[in-house]
Amino acid sequence: MDNKKVILLVEDNADDEELTLRALRKNNIENEVVVARDGVEALDYLFCTGAYAGRDPNHLPEVVLLDLKLPKVDGLEVLRRIRAGAQTRLLPVVMLTSSLEEGDLVRAYASGANSYVRKPVDFTQFMEAVKQLGLYWLVINNPPPETGSQK
């Protein structure tokens, strides 16, 4: 398990969560997926607090798939805290959202998002988007060694 590249999926909508997990499986992306259903849970996982206090802080996910509209702490604030953390500041973060608002796109990039992907409504398009995300972030991309997940 330690050698497997983890994906952190931060998604509060159960249907979108299942759709994303299904698309990952159908594209043969067999990485462990940790699901956080709100911003607080995502931050707890990343910073090893709350329910994740015993988690190894050196084992960060390979990529974070982060929804914008989240309960408790929204996606932009989660992103800002990721970028403010010494250990997490270089962690690849893909905003995976249904928001069509240009302001959200601009704020996400201004806050340090590596990518902004709108969730297609069509499952076939969504499957292709997830396939490309997985191929790029888990296979092609060379993450910085500071992320701690390259053991």
CA proximity to 98, closest of 68, 128, 71, 124: 68
**pTM, two decimal places:** 0.87
**What is the pLDDT of the chain when averaged over all its residues?**
87
Residue pLDDT, tens place only, 129-148: 888 888 788 877 777 775 44
Rounded Cα distance between 45 and 39, Å, is 10
Rounded Cα distance between 127 and 125, Å, is 5
Residue pLDDT, tens place only, 59-96: 999 999 999 999 999 999 999 999 999 999 999 999 98
The percent helix, strand, coil of the chain (3-state, each to 5) is 45, 15, 45
User: Which residues touch 89 (CB under 8 Å, ≥6 apart)?
Assistant: 82, 83, 146
